[in-house]
Structure 1
Amino acid sequence: MAGDLPTYYFRIRENGAVVFKVDTENRQRRIEMEEIAVVNVKNGNIKPHGDRALAADERAEIEAWLQERIAVLAARDLDDILRAVDHMNLTTQWAQSKATDAQLEQVTDRLLLAMHDLRTVLVRKKADRLMKDENKAAE
């Protein structure tokens, strides 16, 4: 079992992770985890635990995990949005074919406001991208 364990364990938190060094090479053959750092995914900060100074290989391992975690979270964000598009289509089908008047009354205003807000943001962002592209073409 000891050979299968990674050298580092990352306990995921909302904004990153707590990093532990895994040790199984002790007299009791127990798994010991020493907290070595805290990582913040949003700003990229790596803060050593207590007075500990991170070794170069530890920092490299943490930075590699950080880059991988950022990529995983970005992919999840995109997947969530694509699922939202699917859900909007399912909601449209529900409203057209299954919803009762009472159900539509309950959700219509909230849906219309959310869709209006989303449309406003998307149109503004699209216009910004088009203007940026036109400026690049003019240069």
Structure 2
Amino acid sequence: MSSDLPDYYFRVRENGAVVFRVDTENRQRRIEMDQIAVVNIKNGDVKPHGDTKLTKEDKAEINAWMAERRALLDARTVDDILRTVDHLNLTSQWVQSKATPDQLEQITDTLLLAMHDLRSVLVRKKADRLLKGKK
């Protein structure tokens, strides 16, 4: 089992990860995880832990993880937006078929303002893209 473990473990946190080097080659045959760095995915900072000197392999693994993590987070963002579209469609159906007048009173203004704000931003961004395409 221990031979199947990766050489590095990334403990995900809010803006990145804590990076550990995994060691199973010790006399007790225990899994040891030595913290080697802290990664900030937002700004790309990699801070070695304590007196740790990161090797080229460490840096390569960390950079590969950061690229994969960014791609995963980007994909999740798009998926979340597509789920929002589904929720908007379900909300439309609920409003048309099941909502009571009291429920509509509760949500109408907030939902209209949010939709107006979203529409304004989308229209502005679409116009910017169209203008860039003509230049």
TM-score under structure 1 length normalisation: 0.95
Identity %: 72
- In the alignment, what sits opposite 1:43? 43
**How does 1:1-139 map onto structure 2 within 5 Å?**
1-135=1-135
Deviations 1:101-129 (A, max 9, x none): 11111110110010011011001111111
SS at match of 2:54: coil
Q: Which amino acid in the other structure matches residue 95 of structure 2?
A: A
Q: Which amino acid in the other structure matches residue 62 of structure 2?
A: I
TM-score under structure 2 length normalisation: 0.97
SS at match of 1:44: coil
Deviations 1:52-71 (A, max 9, x none): 11000110011001100000
Supply the distance in 2 between the matched residues of 1:28 and 1:73 (Cα, whole angstroms). Answer: 38
Deviation, structure 1 residue 47? 1.1
Deviations 1:45-101 (A, max 9, x none): 111111211000110011001100000000000000000001100000000001111
SS at match of 2:128: helix
Deviation, structure 1 residue 29? 1.3
SS at match of 1:17: strand
RMSD: 0.7
Supply the distance in 1 between the matched residues of 2:45 and 2:117 (Cα, whole angstroms). Answer: 34
Paired residues, number: 135
Deviation, structure 1 residue 43? 1.0
SS at match of 1:112: helix
Supply the distance in 2 between the matched residues of 1:44 and 1:118 (Cα, whole angstroms). Answer: 30
Q: Which amino acid in the other structure matches residue 71 of structure 2?
A: A
Name structure 1 gaps, 5 residues minimum: none
Q: Which amino acid in the other structure matches residue 124 of structure 1?
A: R
Runs ≥4 residues deviating over 6 A: none
Supply the distance in 1 between the matched residues of 2:3 and 2:103 (Cα, whole angstroms). Answer: 57
